[in-house]
Structures are given as C-alpha cells and as structure tokens.
Amino acid sequence: MSVRKILVTNALPYANGSIHLGHILGYIQADIWVRAMRSMGHDVTYVCADDAHGTAIMLRAEKDGIRPEMHIAAMQKEHEADFAAFNIAFDHYDSTHSDTNKNRVQEIYIKNREAGHIDVRPVTQLFDPKKNLFLSDRFIKGTCPKCKTEDQYGDSCEACGTTYNATELLDPRSTLSDATPIHKSSDHYFFKLPHFEQYLQQWTRDAGRLPVSIANKLDEWFEAGLADWDISRDAPYFGFEIPDAPNKFFYVWVDAPVGYMSSFENYIQSKRPDLSFNDYWKKDSTAEVYHFIGKDIVYFHALFWPAMLEGAGYRTPTTLSVNGFLTVNGQKMSKSRGTFINASTYTANLNPEQLRYYFASKLSNKVEDSDLNLEDFSQKVNSDLVGKVVNIASRCAKFINSSFNDTLSAQCAEPELVTQFIDAGQSIIQAYEAREFSTAIRQIMALADQANQYIDEKKPWALAKIEGNEQQVHDVCSVGLNLFRQLAVYLAPVLPQLANDVQAFFNLEDFNFASRTQILVNHPICKFTPLMQRVDKKAIEQMIEQSKDSLTTAQEPAAPEKTKTKKAAVKDATPAQDVISIDDFSKINLRVGRVLAAQTVDGSDKLLQLTVDLGEAEPRQIFSGIRERYAPEALVQKLVVVVANLAPRKMRFGISNGMVLCAGQGKNLSIISPDEHAQPGDVVS
C-alpha cells in the first residue's frame, strides 16, 4: 500500500461564541476520518484555527471593555478545551489573527490584483460620525418613509412591511451611539469572481470534488450568473489592512479560509520542520487536501475560495466534505426547551465518546441533516456499546483474571470465527475511507451480535461450574476476548479513549487496523476494569435544565424596547384567543433564502413560482402570492426570509415547500428581507 500525504481541516469556529453540539457534529466527522486514515497507515496532518476577525468581534470586545486580542485569546482557549474534551485531536490549532496568516492573505491578494482580478469602485453608505463607523442595516433605526412609524430598522418597516434602503429612513440614528448618521461614499475593493466562472463550473464537477447534490445546487448560481465579491471593509475594523489601501481592511471571509494554509504553515514551523508547505499547496501537488465544512458555508468554499487560490497560482482542495445541520429531538435546537446545548454543558454531564458513537451511527458522505434524539441516544448507546461490545469483555475477562493467571489460552479454539472477524475488517475500512461511518457502525454491530451469540451458546459461566471443563472455559473466554479486541480496533476511530483503555488492557503496542490480523494466544492481559457506564437519563435531564438556565439568562439578548405607540397597537390588536406561547413560536424555523429564479404561474393572477436556495442540498420550490406587487425579474438574487419547517402544501400548480414572509396586502405588500450580509441557510432569530 502506498502511503498518502493528506492535510485535513475543519471549518474555523468564529471567535465570538461558545461551541455547541451543532458545531461538534462536523468536527467529530473529520476527527473520525483522520483517525481512520492514520490507522490505515497514511500520513495525515489535521489543523484548524479560530476565525478571529470582523465587526462583531470588535464590538463585543468594546462592550466588554477589553482589546479584541484579549477577547479572541480567551475564546480560543475555551474552544480548544471543548474540542479536547470530545477527543478531537488537532495536530495544531491556530488563529487567523497571526502574522503568518496576514502575510499569506496579502500575498494571495497581490497575486490576484496583479492578474487583473481586483476592481475598485465607490459605494455610498450611512456613516456614524460619533463612532466613526460605516453602519450596516442592523445598526440603523429611524422613521419609516412610508407610514411614518418610528423605531424601524434600516431595511424594512415592521408596521407596514415596506422595504427600503437605509438612506431613505427619516430621522435615522445609529443604534451604536444614537448619533445621526450621514451619507458617505467610500471606495470598496471587489474580487472579480465572474473571471473564474468557466473554471469553477469545471472544478465543481471534477470527480470526487463535491457531493453531487452540492454540485447540482451550485449550478443554480452559475445559471443566475456570478457577481463581483466585495472583499473590503472600512476602518474601524478588526482585521488585516489591504496592501496599498490605508484604512481599508479585508472582509473576514477573505482571510478566514487562508487560515487553513497559515495554520498548517505555523505547524510546520513549530512542530514539523520535516514537512514542506509547497509539497501540499503548490499547483501540481500530489498531496491531498480535505476541507470538512457545514452546508451553510458551501458558497464560500466552493466558489470564492478555489477562485482565490486559482488566481494566486495555488492548488485547490481535493475534496469538500459537507455535513448537514443538527436537530435535537426532531426540531431546531431550542434555548427555551434546553436543547441548544453547549459542548461544555454536555461534557459536564455525559460521556463525549458516547455522542461520538451516536453521531457516527448517523453520518454518511451524503449532505444530510442529523437528529440527536435523546431517548434514542440513550437506548442506542446502552444497547450497542454497553450491552453488546463492552459486555463481551466483562463476561470473559473475569474468568481469565481469576482462573487462568491473566493469560489467554495457548491455542485459538475457533480460528475460522476469529478469521471471519479479521476478514470483515476490509469492508469496514473501506466504509471509513468513503466517510460512510453509519455503514461501518452497522457492520461492526453485526459482528458484536455474532460474538455475543457465540458466548451465549458456549455459556462459559455454566461450563465453569462443572469440574473438568477448565480448558474449555479458558478457550471460550480467550476466543471471546479476541473477538472483543477486533471490535475495539474497528471502533477506535470513533471511540479513541475506549480504544486506549482496551489497548492497555491487552498490553498491545499497536492498535491500528493492521494489528487486527494477529490472533492473541498465550497472551497476558491486565485486570479488567469497567470500560463504560450506561447513559443515565437523569444526567440528560440535568443537561437540559442547565442549558435552559445558562442560555436563557447569559446568552439571550434582552428584547429591544418598543415605542409606546407600538406596544399599545399590539395590545389592542391581539385578541386573547390568538396569543401563542414562546414554546409554540420557537417551533417556527425561519431561515434566510436567496431567490434563484422566479416566474409567473399560468392560471393564477396572484402567484409567482420561486426557486429558493436555503443553503440545503437542493433549492426549494415555493409558490407565493406576491405577483401583484413584484415582477419576477425583480426577485432574482433577492434575499428573503422563509418559514422552512412548514409542511409542504399540494397545490394544483405543484408542491409549495415553504413560505416567504411578507407584510402588507396587494400592491402595498413587501417581502421581508434580511441583512445584506446574510447567507442562504442562516437562522433568523
């Protein structure tokens, strides 16, 4: 077997919040694959970093009265502790706020600029003269230019539903300083993404590059036409300054993916001088680069990132492995229900390895959402890991320890059975390599059932009661422990701590996939100690309660005050029977969508047929009664808010899979649009 050189990265967590279980899903997926590929004998390097720039981090640090550098350092320490608790073992964990990353970002930018892929043109925005800051829509409030309702945000009116530009607001004010913003023009820097359209169309269709569903989804973007990408932000901004452009900074999504390169570069400099950066990142590199990301950031990784690399003369990723979102108990993670669970809250109550196993049992190489059903989690872990796998060792080891001097039998009484387990490893290894973890788990558990069946048939506990059966007991229990060792080797990428404990129990130097081929005879073992406890349902309940407490009090921002006029209007207009609870409201899943295509519907004067990208594997078809207000061509590429978990509705024109939120009626109806920087799939809260 030839040894492959592989670099693996995970999406960079943003340094402005804690790691939760929705994040952990993707990191566990990558870590399992890294461990499996290493167990096959390949040379794998695994790096990551905190995404440490942007306005949000700058404002958060300012609010806390500290420098941004102090804030991101504290967040990085917290993130690294959370990953370590889940046995996610990066070779190196860095920050995008490093000199290495700055130098690499500037180099990539300059190469693209020299190749003609950068454009500069003015953009007019509202500017806060007190904060000395250009304001995005979410930081502006004023009076609606149509209905004159006060206290409205800079993109749309909650009262009448009118959408507008922030510059149209009457009496605008900055929510950051309460100052009156002024109109100000500023030069912005754009990356000419359309220059790479033909290249990207081929790149996204290269065999093995992307999941087919993602490649199909990206075709919608090509059909709509790629647009220039604004890569600059004005000072003040926490980030890297653009070369030869004073007070202009790179947008956070420019330097974030370059963090994959710089983290690897810093790893080489600090720990692995035997590795070469160019061997992995040069244009004709034979090494492999894998990015494990969530489906919500595919757009950046499958379009902007490879285009930036191609424009700068670097190689592009071998494969993007894309995971879906995580739900808990079949619904979006909820703070009010206590199912928006931080990584640290989980590890304070439950065994991280058990969640690794549960996620692995659901993960495949397809772009599918995963559900953490806490009842199913408890039953599956207790049945599979405790009741099947660990139980084999506990049933057999006590006889070897107590009656046979801690030594396995000098012969294998069932060589065909043990060999069958060894041979089954090839299919399991192939499933791991293909990132079909759920398939690997099913095959391993089938072997566990077979091992337990063997022990149940031989009944060593019954044999031990009959004088003269000592050798038979010794042989049966030795076979059982050999089968258990095979299972532990196969589960090692998923359960690294359990694997370490089993390796120590068996006194083995190697525990990789190749080690399984050795049948253990006349082999000393250690005293057996319990390897895993059952999931305690009380611990799950405690975790949920702790999540409710910490997340509703510490992390949920206070609701903004409404004007007296608006409070009165809501009170008078809402009859008691229409009141819903916060739990009912939390069931509504609102997500950002982008309209990819729009057309009229034959036979209807009110409906438009929309194709909407929600950051999922496939765009959705939604029928919306907005034809009287909007021409189809005016909606293409428009950001909208969609009720994403509405049951599909069968209409005579077809299936409508969602609802686009609007306000008003008839010709006064307006689509509710999110912030311009939102991306398809973003949760609207």
CA atoms within 13 A on the CB side of 37: 23
The burial of 641, by beta-carbon neighbours within 10 Å (0-12 exposed, 13-18 middle, 19 or more buried), is given as buried
Radius of gyration of the chain (CA): 29
* Contact predicate 595/222, CB 8 Å: no
User: What letter represents residue 92's amino acid?
Assistant: H
Residue 331, classed as helix, strand or coil, is strand
Tokens 């049992």, residue located: 361
Nearest-angstrom CA–CA distance, 491 and 272 = 29
User: What letter represents residue 169's amino acid?
Assistant: L
Nearest-angstrom CA–CA distance, 279 and 23 = 30
* Beta bridge partner(s), residue 44: 6
* Contact predicate 548/583, CB 8 Å: no
Quote the DSSP letter at residue 341: -
> 627, 626, 613: which is closest to 657 by C-alpha?
613
* Contact predicate 139/276, CB 8 Å: no
Measured CA to CA in angstroms, residue 344 lies from 29, 83, 156, 162 at distances of 19, 9, 38, 43
Q: Is 147 known as a binding-site position?
A: yes
The burial of 350, by beta-carbon neighbours within 10 Å (0-12 exposed, 13-18 middle, 19 or more buried), is given as buried
Nearest-angstrom CA–CA distance, 618 and 324 = 12
Q: Is 157 known as a binding-site position?
A: yes
The helix or strand, by DSSP H or E, that contains position 399, with its residue range, turns out to be helix 391-403
The helix or strand, by DSSP H or E, that contains position 504, with its residue range, turns out to be helix 496-506
Quote the DSSP letter at residue 467: T
- Count CB neighbours of 468 within 10 A: 7
What are φ and ψ of residue 153, in 5° steps? -75, 170
* Contact predicate 377/582, CB 8 Å: no
Known binding residues for Zn(2+): 144, 147, 157, 160
Known binding residues: 144, 147, 157, 160, 335
Known binding residues for ATP: 335
